[in-house]
């Protein structure tokens, strides 16, 4: 069976199914399509399914023309009918893995997906989990559910883990160029997943087990979380000393070894870094280990929006104003520049805190015309037009996302007071006393 599957993969007669057509699943589908594979996308969101089948994209960096091209070539289709799993050869799982109210992993989407797959699992199926999770999920959670079908992993079907490394808006590395870690429950599982992804990615990195692959993904994001927490804490310390943290970082990064630059901001955003470290924290408790370093970084990063609000109160007080009743404009609710992704954006927490303090809050983001309801927040806000008049009537402007499309000169010229959490203005050479750092 293994040789037959290898031949089918290499001849591109292998149909790839991707469950979850979000910021991970749809870019992955793009890479398989451009490599010559037929792709069936599965999603419970009927709106996403309908858009794909009409040749429309809902993600900024994937064009309508691309989707339309492959739909018209009948190489791409989307469905919310999971019985069509039986018609594909590979099932790649790209579903969300959020945290619960008490920072515990929510595996409900992985488990419900596994149950759907189990119902239509067939001999020769290649199953790959890409969702970020704690070590032991693939062999401890997914494997037993799939084997309830009566089929055996490594013999009848093939199972492994390959962590997603998607970075929306990254202009230096495309999905294809980012090395792809792969693993399998057995050697044959790993070999087949290696061969499949080698058709799509420039470099594939096999590791000895799914637990190693799961841990590698967590290490990547814990590393970033800890270092961002460090510079966020230093930002506050150096700010008290009247030292510019941004200038400090620029000076430090001239060292050609032993230092990597990380930058402060209004908090931590994106689906990975604010969430993934707590998967290991939760799992470590099973082994009676307290992850003090990881939890401390989380505490620091989640405290930063409070620091920004505290700075806003001081800045307004300097103008004889109270936060209550002040008109505040948030610039940018995407979690990073030039993307339409607001998952876990610190701007949302900032808006919530400002509203709680009685401020009148509005926002502008050219990539997010409306803030939809999220698991934590339910704001009834739409992006306002960014013009001189709207800026002049606000008591305070807070730059939370440094989109490249913003006219920072116009913003500075018309604003009464600015808090710049991203050093956006100074990078443009704009410095004056009405600009506060936070």
| Confidence class for position 352, pLDDT limits 50, 70, 90 | very high
Query: How much is the pTM?
Result: 0.91
Arithmetic mean of pLDDT, 218-247: 95
For residue 9, give both structure tokens: 């993969």
Q: Which of 158-162, 274-278, 370-374, 416-420 has the lowest mean pLDDT?
A: 274-278
d(CA 411, CA 425): 9
Categorize the per-residue pLDDT at 279 as very low, low, confident or very high, splitting at 50, 70 and 90.
confident
Average pLDDT, the chain: 94
Vertex 122 angle, CA 118 and 127, to 5°:
65
Q: Residue 31 contacts by C-beta under 8 Å, 6 or more apart in sequence?
A: 175, 176, 200, 201
**Fold classified for 244-437:** Rossmann fold (3.40.50)
- Least confident residue range of 34-38, 215-219, 350-354, 431-435: 431-435
Fold match, 2-208 / 244-437: yes
Which pLDDT score, from 0 to 100, does residue 433 have? 82
What angle do helix axes 292-318 and 346-356 make, rounded to 10 degrees? 50
Active-site residues: which are they? 272
Q: Which residue has the tokens 């492994």?
A: 160
Q: Stretch 195-204: mean pLDDT, rounded? A: 97
Q: How far apart are CA 213 and CA 215, in angstroms?
A: 5
**How far apart (Å, rounded) are the C-alpha atoms in residues 375 and 298?**
19
Taking the domain 2-208, which CATH number applies?
Answer: 3.40.50.720
Note the pLDDT of residue 103: 76
Categorize the per-residue pLDDT at 111 as very low, low, confident or very high, splitting at 50, 70 and 90: very high
Model pLDDT for residues 397-425, shown as the tens digit of each residue = 999 999 999 999 999 999 999 999 999 99
| H-helix or E-strand spanning residue 437 | strand 435-437
Domain ranges (residues) in the chain: 2-208, 244-437
Q: Minimum mean pLDDT among 28-32, 286-290, 325-329: which range? A: 286-290
């Amino acid at each position: 069976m293994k040789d037959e599957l290898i031949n089918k993969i290499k001849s591109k007669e292998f149909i790839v199914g991707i469950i979850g057509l979000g910021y991970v699943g749809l870019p992955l589908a793009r890479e398989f399509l451009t490599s010559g594979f037929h792709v069936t996308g599965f999603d419970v969101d009927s709106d996403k399914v309908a858009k794909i089948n009409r040749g429309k994209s809902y993600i900024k960096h994937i064009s309508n023309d691309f989707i339309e091209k492959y739909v018209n070539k009948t190489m791409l289709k989307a469905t919310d009918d999971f019985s069509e799993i039986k018609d594909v050869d590979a099932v790649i799982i790209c579903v969300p893995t959020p945290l619960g109210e008490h920072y515990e992993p929510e595996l409900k989407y992985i488990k419900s997906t596994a149950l759907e797959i189990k119902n239509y699992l067939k001999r020769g199926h290649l199953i790959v989990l890409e969702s970020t999770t704690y070590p032991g999920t693939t062999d401890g959670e997914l494997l037993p559910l799939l084997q309830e079908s009566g089929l055996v992993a490594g013999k009848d079907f093939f199972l492994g883990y390959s962590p997603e490394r998607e970075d929306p808006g990254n202009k230096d590395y495309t999905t294809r160029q980012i090395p792809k870690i792969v693993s399998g429950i057995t050697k044959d599982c790993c070999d087949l997943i290696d061969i499949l992804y080698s058709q799509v990615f420039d470099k594939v990195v096999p590791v000895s087990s799914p637990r190693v692959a799961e841990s590698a993904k967590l290490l990547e994001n814990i590393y970033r979380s800890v270092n961002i927490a460090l510079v966020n804490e230093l930002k506050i310390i150096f700010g008290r000393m009247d030292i510019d943290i941004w200038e400090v970082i620029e000076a430090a990064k001239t060292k050609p070894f032993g230092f990597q630059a990380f930058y402060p901001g209004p908090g931590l955003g994106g689906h990975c870094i604010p969430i993934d470290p707590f998967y290991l924290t939760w799992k470590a408790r099973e082994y009676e280990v307290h992850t003090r370093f990881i939890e401390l970084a989380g505490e620091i990063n989640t405290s930063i929006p409070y620091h920004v609000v505290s700075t806003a109160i001081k800045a307004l007080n300097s103008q004889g104003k109270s936060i209550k009743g002040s008109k505040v404009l948030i610039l940018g609710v995407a979690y990073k520049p030039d993307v339409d992704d607001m998952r876990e954006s610190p701007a949302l927490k900032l808006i919530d805190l400002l509203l709680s303090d009685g401020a009148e809050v509005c926002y502008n983001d050219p990539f997010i015309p409306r803030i939809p309801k999220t698991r934590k927040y339910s704001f009834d806000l739409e992006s306002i037009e960014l013009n001189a008049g709207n800026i002049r009537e606000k008591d305070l402007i807070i730059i939370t996302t440094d989109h490249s499309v913003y006219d920072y000169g116009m913003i500075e010229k018309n604003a009464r007071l600015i808090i710049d959490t991203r050093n956006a203005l100074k990078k443009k050479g704009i410095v004056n006393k009405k600009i506060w750092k936070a």
